[in-house]
Amino acid sequence: MELDSFGKKFVDYSRGVLLFRGILIVVFGILMFTDFTAIINLVTMILGIVLLVDGGATLIGMFAGRKVSASLIASSLFLIIFGILALKQPFAINTLILVVIGIWLAAGGIQEIVFCFTAKRPFLSILSGILSLLAGALFIISPWSGLAAIGTLLGILLVVSGVTMISTAILLGQKLNS
């Protein structure tokens, strides 16, 4: 199948995005080997700050614009409260975050495995899907026990997934140029 000019530009852009994401994921995977707990705490603190700013800005903007609604007030207050909890009770929020990450990883792993068989993707994709599913199950079952093992597994998963994205981007480039 021959691509027109727009199709080639789209594939080239997608390849660039895939390559960039792959590199970022590999770097993040390597960082996971250093101190998983510190990374989770950092994510929680950033989340808390973002939620506080978002909730506060929404409240200020709503009252400044004179368009007040009960659902927007409730949503803003929820964001502010959750942001404060993220900064004051990071253990509880971290546990919640770990379970959510587990659900996300498990769902992504299942998706990756299914996609491998339907799109005939490379072997690394199947490995990535299985590792993602395993990491997700561990996070859901026991978010904090074996945190170092989970962090190592997640680090391996991220490196494998990143390398898969990078190799897919390179293959796309080769097919685009041939």
The CB density around residue 6, as the number of other CB atoms within 10 Å, is 8
The structure tokens listed for 19 are: 């390559």
What pLDDT score does 144 carry? 75
Cβ-proximal residues to 102 (8 Å cutoff; 6+ apart), any chain: 135, 136, 137, 138, 139, 140, 141, 143
Q: How confident is the model at residue 154 (pLDDT cuts 50, 70, 90)?
A: confident
Q: How confident is the model at residue 100 (pLDDT cuts 50, 70, 90)?
A: confident
| pLDDT mean across residues, the chain | 83
Distance CA(59)–CA(160), nearest Å, equals: 43
Distance CA(17)–CA(85), nearest Å, equals: 35
Average pLDDT over residues 105-128: 82
Q: Which residue did the predictor score with more confidence, 39 or 126?
A: 126
What single DSSP character describes residue 143? S
Lowest mean pLDDT among 17-26, 72-81, 119-128: 119-128
Q: How confident is the model at residue 66 (pLDDT cuts 50, 70, 90)?
A: low
- Rounded to 10 degrees, the C-alpha dihedral 23/25/28/32 comes to -130
Q: What are phi and psi of 76, to 5 degrees?
A: -65, -45
Distance CA(40)–CA(51), nearest Å, equals: 16
Q: Which residue did the predictor score with more confidence, 112 or 177?
A: 112
Whether residue 89 has pLDDT greater than 90 = no
Whether residue 117 has pLDDT greater than 70 = yes
Whether residue 23 has pLDDT greater than 80 = yes
